[in-house]
Amino acid sequence: METKEKFPLKKVCIICAKGAIEDVYAALVMANGAVMEGIEAKLFFTFFGLDAITKKQMKKLKTATVGNPAMRMPGGLPFPTLLGGIPGVEAGVSAMMKNQMAKLDIPTVPEFFEMITAGGGEIYACKLAADMFKLKKEDLWEGVTDIITVGQFYELAEGQGTQIIFV
């Protein structure tokens, strides 16, 4: 059996472009896992992903109930997309999801950010998206390193052993 030379993963640069709880948590779990393994982690939030780092929104993230083919009802039956449009359903499903995460002792979004930054991870906001939504650094969670351009983000990703992950 032939062995291939491997370049160990040294850095992950994770892009989060969606604000649904399941997308934000995917980025946070991957970044936290990287930090815990001694891998350099940089998170870049753009477009609706900015909700995760915006002070007014970060504790109000919701589960996507419309157009989510993986959504299941109790018992495993598919969740009808039509139900997701009924007022209050999205809030109820989101509350159930947050309750399940709390039972499993999964950190909240701000707690995850604290853990990631305490481990050396860095959090960035996309300048284009921040300008589009008229957000300033003071509108963002205090641990956000900076508001940067895509080009600056790619500079951060430079180096052998880097993986860019889009969530």
Is 75 part of a structural domain of the chain?
Answer: no
Does 157 map to a domain?
yes
pLDDT digits 0-9 by tens, 114-142: 999 999 999 999 999 999 999 999 999 99
CATH assignment at residue 35: 3.40.1260.10
Measured in whole angstroms, the distance separating CA 28 from the mean position of its chain's CA atoms is 5
pLDDT, the chain, mean: 90
pLDDT digits (tens, 9 = 90+) for 135-154: 999 999 999 999 999 999 99
Kindly state whether residue 147 falls inside one of the protein's structural domains: yes
* Nearest residue to 71 via CA among 21, 35, 111, 114: 21
To the question of pTM greater than 0.95 for the whole model, the response is no
**Quick one: how far is CA 34 from the chain centroid?**
14
CA-to-CA distance for 130 and 14, rounded, in angstroms?
A: 17
Residue 116 covered by a domain: yes
Long-range contacts of 92-95 (CB under 8 A, 24+ apart): 93/63, 93/65, 94/21, 94/61, 94/62, 94/63
Dihedral pair phi/psi, residue 77, rounded to 5°? -70, 145
Residues 6+ apart with CB under 8 A from 11: 39, 40, 41, 42, 157, 159, 161, 162, 163
